Amino acid sequence: MPIPQLAALNRLLAGARNPHAPDTGLFARLIAVRLEAGDLTGLGLGHADFAALMTRHFPGATLADALPEQPLADAPPFVDELIALLQ
């Protein structure tokens, strides 16, 4: 069975600073799934936090999808931990 988000995953990993790092692979998979769903806001990150994540792990990747300036009020439970990793 083909994996729909594989193209987005490959695009992210191609622009990754270290595509073999476990956290980079995890973030790439999370982002690819949300890209495929057309809902990057589902990550629960605002624009600044998402930009920091992309700069840290995927400096060579570009995404055309825009994010809101503020995180969602009802963000998924893992968002606080994800933001902590970015700092």
pLDDT above 60 for 33:
yes
| Tokens of residue 57, six digits | 């792990």
CA distance 72 to 3: 27
CA distance 19 to 40: 21
CA distance 14 to 74: 32
Average per-residue pLDDT in the chain? 80
pLDDT above 60 for 1:
no
pLDDT above 90 for 16:
yes
Dump pLDDT digits (tens) for 50-80: 888 899 999 999 876 666 565 566 666 777 7
pLDDT class of 25 with cuts at 50, 70, 90: very high
- The answer to whether residues 43 and 70 touch, using CB atoms and an 8 Å cutoff, is no
Per-residue pLDDT at 37 = 83
CA distance 81 to 23: 13
